[in-house]
Structure 1
Amino acid sequence: MVDIKYWAALNLVPRLGPVRFRKLEAYFGDMEKAWKASLGEFKAAGLDDRTARDLITLRSKTTPESELERIIRAGINLVSWHDDDYPVRLKEIADPPPVLYFKGTLLPSDERSLAVVGTRGPTSYGREATAGLTAELAHNGIVIVSGLARGIDGVAHRAALENGGRTIAVLANGLDIVYPREHTNLAQQIVDRGAIVSEYPPGVRPDSRSFPRRNRLISGISLGSLVVEAGEGSGARWTVYHALEQNREVFCVPGSIYSPMSRLTNRLIQEGAKPVSNVTDILEELNLTAVARQVQLPLPVDTDGDPESALLGLLNDDPQHIDDIRRSADIPISSVSSMLTMLELKGLVRQVGCMHYVRLREVSQVYGN
């Protein structure tokens, strides 16, 4: 057992970080001794002069007791990397945060998680693909991890919640701040059905450096990372970089060669990322054990003239060639192809053989190995 208040107090020094925390722990044995150490002892432990003096200054401004009280008053929990509730996969990365702050719950089932990330300005294709894939992942018991940002992140969190799933949001700031502000209600829903987490103490605001560092936690908590839609300048590239450094799988949804929002995903596929056309691609690659359960899909209701619902109503358990589907639907082949792709991403149809499609009547319930 660690006395968490000393960890919380020491974590107020921004320069300390995982490497210097390990030096303190190795030298002093416990963080109470580290908190009470002299300037000379800090230097003997391997700290540079600036960090050592920052610690001495901090002691004159606060106490471990008052810092812990401040955190509790804000409704925030915290764990150190020695605690059982600390995410198991996060302990495996090279630089896990010594202290993790969270609201909500951290569960053992969070080991079955996938990061879903992408651009803050997705196209309608990106939004649909994110919602469809995330919904099916949630149905399969996969925890969705993302960053609460605008765009793909928000769509992924909402789709998980709307489909009875669990989701974790990793923030680039203290948990007393919600950024962007329009996601305040979404953040509370995530707390109720999952967790929001951060390595930053309450009061710390986001900046340009904290987002790339945050992304190492998004990938670090997860079995793999799915990039749905992202241009070359997207912050999702940092999640990919960290995922590769952490030996985690990277998946990408292919996009149009004419779309700037698919340039990063298409390039990553060329460089070896796994292309994704349906959830099965992800589940099989991650070696998750699927136990199929029969689900009778309701017949589509076409009261609003939804073309996807109408097309789905033409399909059944017997494989049909795309040309036959086009003739039955009486719409252009390009429209049929596009809608079948979206229905496949949503887990409602599957391509079997060359250009033949069936309507799915099985949904996999996924459990860990």
Structure 2
Amino acid sequence: MILKQKHAPSLAKLPMLWLLISLAILLIVSMGIAVGVGSVAIDQATVWGVIAHKISLSSSLPNWSMGRENIIWAVRLPRVILAAIVGAALAMVGGALQSVTRNPLADPHLLGVSSGAALGAIIALLHTGMILGVATVPVFAFIGALVAIFCVLLVANFSVAHSAGRLILAGVAIAFILTALGNLFIFMGDHRASHTVIFWMLGGLGLAQWDQLWFPCLALLLGASYLIYKARFLNAMTLGDETASTLGVPVTRFRLMVIVVCALLTGAAVAFSGVIGFVGLMVPHITRLLVGGDYRKLLPLSGLLGALFLVIADIVARVIIPPQDMPIGILTGLVGGIAFVLLMRQKRHVSF
């Protein structure tokens, strides 16, 4: 069962448009702050001046150095945009999976997608080399994610696993197998280079580049559009398979379709950011506590909150141990775990 509220959520009665606009403004402001934060601090006037100049919104002559312009436009802004994309994707995937599996612990990494992506990244970093240039690791990671999806669906058909529980078990089994293969490739690879694999598996946004952002952005746009369009079906799935079927939902086909869409979204995110945990598990629960369980509200608001959370986490990761960047997966794991424990303590407001 997913989390259910005994009392009306505090923000449920507010207009949806107002909530979306407020969160979008807060996200944009946070992204501007994130671009200015780092080993070289840059004021907000310069940040927004560079952005306006680059997208031809301002015709005034630049009053900043080329070095700062490159820091803002070529390094930090793609990273911040990737953080928002990945956070939104993971949060929406977590919310959708919690519906179709009726499992409050469902998250984007449940079906072995992260293990498959990690295996692909390990092969690229330790065995093939950068044969595709800077795109090698994301491409191999995404191929690994696709292999994981294929294996899970193959096992599901082999075991006639039409139920949510058996699909989850298939995903867990494939995740163990792919993790074992990844460890084997690490053992067989150059141990001196294994630290690069470990850093990638801890999660990070250092691979962000303008010419590659289109892929996770397109995946988010298509995947999120499908999930939001099917929000009524997701609402029905939380009531159980029999009830959803009586309401006209093709339960088995819809569940498999959602799982494929969520796996593709997760693969696109993990391919560029590494393994970032707890965003997809924690954010949908917090959103559900604030606005209720209606997926017509839950999904878009979870996406915005997930993007906001990961952008703020990236800010903290860059300032907590300067001049080094802490792997963002460590930070989200710590914050997410503590927040989820506190969330679980609210027993008078939440039940399973």
Give TM class, smaller chain. Answer: under 0.3
More strand by share: 1
* TM-score (norm. length: structure 2): 0.23
More helix by share: 2
* TM-score (norm. length: structure 1): 0.22
Relative contact order: is structure 1 or structure 2 higher (C-alpha 8 Å, sep ≥ 6)?
A: 2
- Radius of gyration: which is bigger? 1
